[in-house]
Amino acid sequence: MKTSDLVKLDNPKHFEQTSLQYQRRFGVIAGYLPKDIIHIGKWLSDLVEHSYKEKETAGANYTLAPSILEMKAMLTHNKELESQVNKMIEEGLLIHKKYEPDVKYGIKSLDDLFVAMNYILHNAPKFQPEVSHSAFPMSGLFVYMMATPSGWIVFKNQAFNDSLRNILQAWCDFLDSPETLSVVTTQPDGWLSPASVIANNLNEFVTEETKIKDPVHWGFKSFNDYFHRQIILLCRPLDGPDNDAVIVSANDGTIYRVARNVKLSDNFETKSQNYSLKNMLGGSPYTDMFKGGDVLQTFLSGHDYHRWRAPITGEIVEARVINGYMFSELPVEGWDPTAGTYSQGYEANVNTRGLIIIKHDDPKIGLVAVMPIGITEISSIKIEVGVGDHVKKGEELGTFSYGGSSLCLIFQKGAIKQFTVVNPAPDVNSNNGPYVRVRAQVAIANTSSKINTHLTT
């Protein structure tokens, strides 16, 4: 990495550019962080203030969660990494202070970081449509740090990633608990409130009969149960159910990129964020078979359907989770107030991700890889199928726990005759592409059957 690629924290123009960039580009991303950069600082200050008030109230009974204590011990025994994390915090605070010069509360030390994470671990996020609140607290906690030279080093450190993964898993376990139903209600700050029904299209997920049976929680069992809620399939009809040539989307989302003739190995740490199959597929024995193939990547925002479905019919020949980075973003993208979504191509190569490879009976279609990718705290990937299972097109494969992320479909060379979705222009960053619904046609495949090669409209 070149020094010129790193953020110049002492350059006033950097802050002006990032503020303008934020205002111009963030409005397209639903559910991540406040739309005004100033309000991230306000939200983070409030988080730190609440976490310390909680600590003061608990007094001698205050304890850090076991996963946080493990991180603390790990850093205590790794002085070089501890120093780097402290430097990351200092650099992040510089950005925070630029946009909130009189900040009273902020992440100013490791203790602040531990106390804030501890608060997040046992508090489910409330529905807050106001710009002063983030529905993704871990992203809000780290967003300034991710944009620093030291942050780009720390978030690629294996020991730090392993420790952070344990913390995120503890939080995911909490979000699976019935205790989190306190925010899954019809109250104004609940995820079932009238405002949330509109913002999150809940009428596509919850029937009137369910509301009548359970008027308080609408049948949901936890916060995560709400976030990976099941769609009403009538709202997502399956295209081409009897036509093998019709390839369907594995998820709701917006088109990030369509890439053709993808290389086995390529430089993915450049502005172009190339796909490198050897990195993406994480040592899969099928990697070489995808050489020269195609990738379709889509972005899921916080309000999208969080389950993924089979794009083709076939047999599962590989199904596993590949552990990787969670909060790393590409330095050449500069300041990313969305906490990682500008780096989706890069993240497809290095982040924690699932890998499900489906073998179609038709050799012209061959293997199709479904790769759900975790971004920041959305790194809990649950695969619900196994090797040897046979799935039909449109059937469920697994879920993300909590929030939006990204997903790649990877095809073998020659399998796709034509993509039927628009590829965004190169200068359209992150999430401005056209919307696609799960189980809707995204491509036409070459097939052995002459009657199945027509386009479906």
Instruction: State the SS3 of the chain.
Output: CCHHHCCCCCCHHHHHHHHHHHHHHHHHCCCCCCCCHHHHHHHHHHHHHHHHHHHHHHHHHCCCCHHHHHHHHHHHCCHHHHHHHHHHHHHHHHHHHHHCCCCCCCCCCHHHHHHHHHHHHCCCCCCCCCCCCCCCHHHHHHHHHHCCHHHHHHCCCHHHHHHHHHHHHHHHHHHCCHHHHHHCCCCCCCCCCHHHHHHCCHHHCCCHHHHHHCCCCCCCCCHHHHHCCCCCHHHCCCCCCCCCCEEECCCCEEEEEEECCCECCCCCCCCCCCCEHHHHCCCCCCHHHHCCCEEEEEEECCCCCCEEECCCCEEEEEEEEECCECCCCCHHHCCCCCCCHHHHHHHHHHECEEEEEEECCCCCCCEEEEEEECECCECCEEECCCCCCEECCCCEEEEECCCCEEEEEEECCCCEEEECCCCCCCCCCCCCCCEECCCCEEEEECCCCHHHCCCCC
Rounded to the nearest 10 degrees, what angle do helices 137-146 and 110-121 cross at? Answer: 160
- Whole-angstrom distance, CA of residue 448 vs CA of residue 366: 11
- Whole-angstrom distance, CA of residue 302 vs CA of residue 32: 7
pLDDT, tens digit, 9 for 90 and up, residues 25-39: 333 333 445 555 566
pLDDT, tens digit, 9 for 90 and up, residues 160-182: 988 988 898 898 889 999 999 99
Shared domain for 63 and 83, answered yes or no, is yes
Apex CA 224: angle with CA 221 and CA 226, to 5°?
A: 65
Percentage with pLDDT > 90 across the chain: 49
Strands 246-248 and 405-411: unpaired
Apex CA 14: angle with CA 143 and CA 144, to 5°?
A: 10
Over residues 81-96, mean pLDDT = 92
CB 236 within 8 A of CB 437: yes
Residue 112 has pLDDT above 70, yes or no: yes
CB 321 within 8 A of CB 352: yes
The pLDDT value recorded for residue 28 is 31
- Name the least confident of 62-66, 227-231, 453-457: 453-457
Q: Which residues are CB-neighbours of 298 under 8 A, at least 6 positions away?
A: 249, 251, 253, 254, 255, 256, 406, 407, 433, 436
The pLDDT value recorded for residue 432 is 60
Residue 271 has pLDDT above 70, yes or no: no
> Residue 357's beta-bridge partner residues?
318, 369
Over residues 82-89, mean pLDDT = 95
Domain hosting 354: range is 238-452
Shared domain for 392 and 438, answered yes or no, is yes
Q: Does some domain include residue 228?
A: no
Q: Does some domain include residue 95?
A: yes
The pLDDT value recorded for residue 426 is 60
Q: Does some domain include residue 232?
A: no
Kindly indicate the confidence band of residue 280, based on its pLDDT and cuts at 50, 70 and 90. confident
Q: Does some domain include residue 230?
A: no
Shared domain for 148 and 211, answered yes or no, is no
Of 324, 349, 156, residue with least CA distance to 270: 349
Apex CA 399: angle with CA 396 and CA 401, to 5°?
A: 165
Q: Does some domain include residue 226?
A: no
Residue 15 has pLDDT above 80, yes or no: no
Q: Which residue has the tokens 């972005």?
A: 299
The pLDDT value recorded for residue 105 is 87
pLDDT, tens digit, 9 for 90 and up, residues 316-356: 999 999 887 666 555 544 444 444 455 566 777 777 889 99
**Strands across the sheet containing 390-391:** 390-391, 314-322, 353-359, 367-373, 405-411, 294-300, 253-259, 435-436
The pLDDT value recorded for residue 456 is 44
Residue 114 has pLDDT above 60, yes or no: yes
Shared domain for 274 and 316, answered yes or no, is yes
The pLDDT value recorded for residue 26 is 31
Q: Does some domain include residue 225?
A: no
Residue 6 has pLDDT above 60, yes or no: no
C-alpha atoms less than 13 angstroms from C-alpha of 331 in its C-beta half-sphere: 18
Taking the CB of residue 92, how many other CB atoms lie within 10 A of it? 26
Shared domain for 375 and 446, answered yes or no, is yes
Shared domain for 143 and 82, answered yes or no, is yes
The pLDDT value recorded for residue 25 is 33
CB 398 within 8 A of CB 308: yes
pLDDT, tens digit, 9 for 90 and up, residues 190-221: 999 999 999 888 999 999 999 999 999 999 99
The pLDDT value recorded for residue 425 is 64
Q: Structurally, how many domains does the chain consist of?
A: 3
Kindly indicate the confidence band of residue 273, based on its pLDDT and cuts at 50, 70 and 90. low
- Whole-angstrom distance, CA of residue 433 vs CA of residue 424: 5
Of 10, 391, 347, 375, residue with least CA distance to 238: 391
- Quote the mean pLDDT of the chain: 82
- Name the least confident of 101-115, 126-140, 355-369: 126-140
Residue 9 has pLDDT above 60, yes or no: no
Shared domain for 167 and 190, answered yes or no, is no
- Whole-angstrom distance, CA of residue 341 vs CA of residue 269: 15
The pLDDT value recorded for residue 359 is 97
Residue 300 has pLDDT above 90, yes or no: no
Of 131, 112, 144, residue with least CA distance to 47: 112
- Whole-angstrom distance, CA of residue 387 vs CA of residue 404: 26
Shared domain for 245 and 198, answered yes or no, is no
Shared domain for 194 and 259, answered yes or no, is no
Shared domain for 123 and 21, answered yes or no, is yes
CB 112 within 8 A of CB 106: yes
Shared domain for 112 and 215, answered yes or no, is no
Of 16, 8, 19, residue with least CA distance to 337: 19
Q: Does some domain include residue 62?
A: yes
Q: Does some domain include residue 294?
A: yes
Shared domain for 254 and 397, answered yes or no, is yes
- Name the least confident of 136-140, 231-235, 427-431, 440-444: 427-431
